[in-house]
A and B are shown apart, each in its own frame.
Chain A
Amino acid sequence: MITIEIDGVHYQVKTETSLLSACLSLGLDLPYFCWHPALGSVGACRQCAVIQYKDVEDKRGRLVMACMTPVADDMRISIDAEQAKQFRAENIELLMTNHPHDCPVCEEGGECHLQDMTVMTGHTVRRYRGQKRTHKNQYLGPFINHEMNRCIACYRCVRFYDDYAGGSDLQALGISNNVYFGRFNDGALENEFSGNLVEVCPTGVFTDKTFSAHYARKWDLQTAPSVCVHCGLGCNIAPGERYGELRRVINRYNGEVNGYFLCDRGRFGYGFVNSPERILKPLINGQSEIESAAAEQHFRDLLKSDQPVIGIGSPRASLEANFALRTLVGEEHFFLGLDNTEHDMLDAIDSILHNGGIHSPSLREVEQSDAVLILGEDVTNSAPRLALSLRQAVRNAVFDLAETLHIPSWQDAAVRDLGKNHRSPLFIAGVCTTRLDDAAVRCYRGSPDDIARLGFAIACHLDNQAPEPADLGDVERALAATIADSLKTAKRPLIVSGTSCASLAVIQAAFNVAKALPSKDRQLTFTVPECNSMGLVIIGGGRLQQAFERVREGLADTVVILENDLYRRAQDQEVDAFLHSAAHVVAIDCLNNKTTEQAELLLSAATFAESEGTLLSNEGRAQRYFPVYPPPEHVRASWQWLSAAAEGLKWRHFDALTAACAETFPELEAMTRAAPDASFRIRGMKIPRQPHRYSGRTAMLANIKVSEPQQPLDPETPFAFSMEGATAKVQSAMEPVIWAPGWNSNQAINKFQEGIGGHLQGGDYGVRVFEAAGAGDWFNTIPQVFEPEQGLWLIVLLPHIFGSEELSLRSPPVAERTLAACAMLNPSDAVTLAVASGDLIDIRNLNGKTMASLPVRLEPSLPAGLLGITAGLPETRQISQADRVTLVKTGNSGEQS
């Protein structure tokens, strides 16, 4: 800590920061545009000007840009000096000469950093009388609007998109006051993190197209803290609602997890909540809608079966809902509802994370690693936000170099100019190219078995206690040595793996590598497919196939399926047989799907936006989501359906359920502390979900009824569906809306952190429920070298950010960005098969049954003998991971309709 003097007051600040960051950390207001806490300083906009004095004698001082000035002990500066104030006001005046002043029709209005900063500088009168320069806009795809006339050329968009997120199709074009930020031509932005432009852009150039489609001002949105349900990472989100419709999702800062950024699946995947395919009322036999009270009774009746009732849980349902079902049906009748391989893998991951003795890092910790090995994952597609963190991790080497040259790490352009080749090592072993390859020093491509073998080879190179793969090829041996040597010298090496390869061996190899690492700060992280995959395996239960057997064998006749489309988990015939032979099928879900179609009783479940629950992320962090708005009349949280059915059980309230769950599973003991419970009050008040400027509350429904309806009650959470309540002293992590006086954009988060970019005041959201213990034994089962078999192909399902996840795929803008289903083949295999790109091929299982018919796409990076299929699309649902199949050409590319 050092002391600096600002306008005559002495403050203690952290060393090694910029003056701007220091001022903002102190809670002082100083306007800025080109600076961003995660992007650092470049000094372009000249908005953060302050006066710096040489010494006590110096009365005049010198204008400096705070963002480009390092703090120094005994430094004297002034924010309030007239000269600085005038400069800042005039600088905004210049920025605004070409601005269209179209705030009334701008989606950014009311949460616009440019509006905030303009007011902050006091620029109010326009002197410029000239013409405004205008631009044409581009079509940028289904996610993002483009309105270039609002641009103030702060360059943040391209600095985020290209420099930070690794994109290349959005660039600065043109020169002088004609600079333009756009693509080479119209088309969807390619980068998976494009949605962050909405928040990174300080004006309304890049806005959320999905939000525009049903727009409301920020202050008219009702919001509650929430967690993304579209992958296993648990990014924090702030969903906003108006008139019973979910309007958008924006980032909710979590200093340990997602920081300032989300991926596009997380931001734009919310549309399923508003889908016309929502189940809004309980339904009997797919025909007759019934009232919820009647449905409850019906449910209870069905459960009174003489035979045991089977419960099938879900990796996309909360811990509480799964626990409620398990309690309802009994531990021995609870099944996880995962496909077999996934079940095995998640069990293995669970056991490694608990007993392997190696820390599983948060995303913040990921960013600090100085050498990374990815085994078998295309992280951008399986756990997107993790990829963004890995991209930052490779920068650690250049930060070290910058330090030796006395270039501060926050001086962004200068650090980047040191050279793009100066990177911390990232090694990627995958089945084919990944979106992170450009950041890697070496990429290896092989079948899952070969990837595992490489992993085992690296482990044994690091530690000769580890088992060694037999018949290792020279290439693999040399590569393993290179990777091992690089990881060995790292201080904070990280191994990344996961379930994408459907290979237990890959997961075990990843553990062996991590275990073999000499550094005590080594880390190991696994991606998991769904938002509560980790939670589900910790609760534990039988396998789906066992459930099928029970019914087939007549050991059970009633089935309760919780938020799970079984047709995504097993072959159609199996599921058909299962559902047909069960006497009674109860499904609880939010959207219609093949499984819900067959339910005798279909219970309408609330989505994450209308209910509460706790999710366990891949890191082991329990985080709670809260209802943003009350569910429609006949919709209930799954846990509510289940607890209502369970007569005589003690958990009538959510908190009681959470407590019971925590009590039952010692590993989940901490989950009750994920967020305050419903009894939480500040001076007797709950936390309001509606901002203090929420407009027209009393008149919102005036066209229907003039008297103001009573606010819906919320007995389950600390939040109120209201404007009234505690506004001061709310823990930062529990603030539904990030807002501070004068700071209406999401950048108000500066006021809620312990220092810029740090943890939230009072702690980040969520709680880690486990820490690695034990030491874990080596895994010794090493697969053979993969040898393609003549005429047979090995299926590898490749996750895709847009399409592979069930719920987001039901959001139209995400669906628009999915890849058309195709069969990816190595060109040499295409030659063998005499097929060309675009030809149709039948994919047949070993019994000769056609599972899908798909157009061929050539993928040179995919090893021969593998057939790459995009995971999770309706067309590819029946194709199972790791199957062997035959291929038959059925049509030429020209013949397709």
Chain B
Amino acid sequence: MDKLDKPLTKNIQPDRAFATLADYRKTGGYQGLRKAITELRPKEVQQWVKDAGLRGRGGAGFSTGLKWSLVPMGNNGAADAHQTRYLVANADEMEPGAFKDRLLLEQDPHQLLEGMIIAAYAIQANIAYIFMRGEYHLAARRVENALQEARTEGYLGKHILDSDFNLEIYLHTSAGRYICGEETALINALEGKRANPRAKPPFTVVSGLWGKPTVVNNVETLCNIPHILQNGVEWYRGLGRGADTGTKLFGASGRLKHPGLWELPMGTPIREIIEEYAGGMRAGYNLRGFLPGGASTEFLLPEHLDVLMDYDAVAKAGSRFGTGTMIILDDKTCPVRMVLNIEEFFAQESCGWCTPCRDGLPWTVTLLRDIIAGRGRIEDLDTLSGLTRMMSPGNTFCALAPGAMEPLQSALKFFREDFERYILGKIAVVEEDQ
């Protein structure tokens, strides 16, 4: 593929430590910013991004341009204090199976900064934060360093590129939790509060950080922005192979020959990712199923291999695009135990705010452990599906618990006999490990 077809990773080379400012500039870095600031008005930038069809890469797939356009811009009659606006880059990547943002943060930090500056310009925010999970030490160092460089070069601070646009970006490293990645919980965390999510409405674009209009965007989403500005809407739309536009970092992990991460056009068939890029299954293992978008998405089966990795296509197949990083279930891994591991994660990471999640996930874990330990009863399977119904979208306060139910619910559907085998005593009970 041509370099231009891999805008996000074009500076990332296996043999290089990471893209310096010079490297970044060499491939056109900060030209998108120049174009935005010198040639376009904020509303026009929003329109470009909307027209480009960019959808949020944080998991929900909401149109980025549309989100920006919901920020109250002019004097909308609200009190003065409400004229402050914030942009936040969501670098809290913590969903099991997702490992895409770390690459972008570590290998090409200026790309994120340029995306943020353009985004901040588009919504006229003068302060932006990067909310990064505490474990990403290397990324934090590189981003902090890039921030220094950007300040020195006049990409940040007052009168950016001699315009009258001012922006400061601060790096906030968290010590937090998976839930801190949920955008409203993230805002509470940034404010120094417990990271329970907030109710929506009001949406963050109306009342976010310290009650001010705030846009939260995923790192990968923001990394797309410079390229849209630099190369144009038409070019960007042309990158997708299916209904969606642009490229995407797709990943695959599990017992594959070459697990990894690849920038590919949106709409790349799943088969291509698994079989060509990841080289298929390791010798001695067969594909039993996969979670196409990370741990909070429904299982798909080998029969779904020809589904395109597009938001709507994956949804139609019965799962979710999520973060676009898939987890492979092989035929030697017990799906029940795999689901237990996933539910343990979600139960532990529940923020404890709403009842179904706080008390329903631990019960889910208890039931799965009982089943695996040979203490299960056949009616427990009904209880489990009852729990997936209890925690379906809208029933809980945020999307964490519904996400947690997706692998379980699909496993109950596709791998029911694996559950039953434990309960009916058809397999030797493995030592309980808790």
Contacts and interface: CB of A to CB of B under 8 A. Distances in A.
B396 A177 contact: no
A419 B352 contact: no
Contacts of A155: 353
Given A64-B394, A404-B77, A422-B211, A94 B355 contact: yes
Given A130-B370, A177-B352, 20 more contacts: A43-B354, A44-B353, A46-B396, A46-B397, A64-B394, A91-B355, A94-B355, A97-B359, A98-B359, A128-B366, A130-B362, A153-B352, A176-B347, A176-B358, A177-B350, A178-B352, A401-B79, A405-B207, A418-B211, A422-B79
Contact of A172 (B79, B82, B194, B198): B194
29 contacts: A44-B354, A45-B355, A46-B355, A47-B355, A87-B390, A91-B356, A94-B355, A94-B390, A95-B359, A97-B359, A98-B359, A127-B383, A128-B363, A131-B366, A175-B350, A176-B348, A176-B349, A176-B351, A176-B352, A177-B347, A177-B352, A177-B359, A401-B78, A404-B79, A406-B202, A407-B201, A407-B206, A422-B79, A422-B211
B428 interface: no
Interface in A18-66: 42-47, 49, 62-64
Contacts of A178: 352
B6 interface: no
Contacts of A411: 199, 202
A45 B81 CA distance: 32
Contacts of A820: none
A-B pairs, 7 with minimum CB distance:
A418-B211, A130-B366, A94-B359, A179-B352, A419-B211, A176-B350, A177-B362
A538 B365 CA distance: 69
A877 B366 CA distance: 63
Contacts of A127: 383
Contacts of B347: 176-177
Interface in B52-108: 77-79, 81-82
A339 to B, nearest CB: 48
Contacts of B383: 127
A417 interface: yes
A152 B356 CA distance: 12
A174 interface: yes
Contacts of A91: 355-356, 390
Nearest to A133: B362
Contacts of B348: 176
Interface in A525-554: none
Contacts of A785: none
Contacts of A43: 199, 354, 397
A47 B394 CA distance: 13
A43 B79 CA distance: 27
B29 interface: no
B395 interface: yes
B82 to A, nearest CB: 8
A418 B355 contact: no
B35 to A, nearest CB: 34
A685 interface: no
B186 to A, nearest CB: 13
Contacts of B360: 94
B386 interface: yes
**Which DSSP category, helix, strand, loop or mixed, fits chain A's interface?**
loop
B356 A94 contact: yes
B355 A405 contact: no
Q: What is the interface residue range for chain B against chain A? A: 35 or more
Interface string A660-671: 000000000000
Contact of B395 (A45, A87, A128, A179): A87
Interface string B335-354: 00000000000011111111
Contacts of A176: 347-352, 358, 361-362
A241 B207 CA distance: 50
Interface string B200-228: 01100011001100000000000000000
Given A129-B370, A407-B201, A417-B198, A94 B352 contact: no
Contact of B394 (A42, A44, A63, A94): A63
Nearest to A172: B194
A49 B361 CA distance: 19
A417 B207 contact: yes
Interface in A122-140: 127-131, 133
Interface string A349-393: 000000000000000000000000000000000000000000000
B177 interface: yes
Contacts of B211: 417-419, 422
Interface in A727-782: none
B366 A68 contact: no
A90 interface: yes
Contacts of A414: 198-199, 201-202, 207
Given A62-B394, A178-B352, A68 B199 contact: yes
Given A94-B363, A129-B370, A407 B202 contact: yes
Contacts of B350: 175-177
Contacts of A726: none
A62 to B, nearest CB: 7
Interface in B234-279: none
A179 B206 CA distance: 30
Contacts of B206: 405, 407
A314 B57 CA distance: 74
A823 to B, nearest CB: 39
A129 B362 CA distance: 12
Interface in A406-451: 406-407, 411, 413-414, 417-419, 422
A54 B361 CA distance: 31
A49 B363 contact: no
Q: Which of A68, A127, A175 has the most CB of B within 10 A?
A: A175
Given A414-B199, A414-B202, A417-B211, A174 B394 contact: no
A569 B207 CA distance: 55
Contacts of B394: 62-64
A98 B358 CA distance: 11
A467 to B, nearest CB: 37
Contacts of B78: 401, 404-405
A406 to B, nearest CB: 8
A87 B390 CA distance: 7
Contact of A97 (B77, B363, B386): B363
A745 to B, nearest CB: 19
B358 A179 contact: yes
A129 B366 CA distance: 8
A152 B355 CA distance: 8
Contacts of A419: 81, 210-211
A90 B386 contact: yes
Nearest to B396: A46
Contact of A422 (B81, B194, B362, B397): B81
Contacts of A153: 352, 355, 358
B354 A45 contact: yes
Interface string B159-172: 00000000000000
Most buried by B among A44, A128, A177, A407: A177
B199 A63 contact: no
Contacts of B358: 153, 176-177, 179
Given A87-B395, A176-B348, A419-B211, A95 B363 contact: no
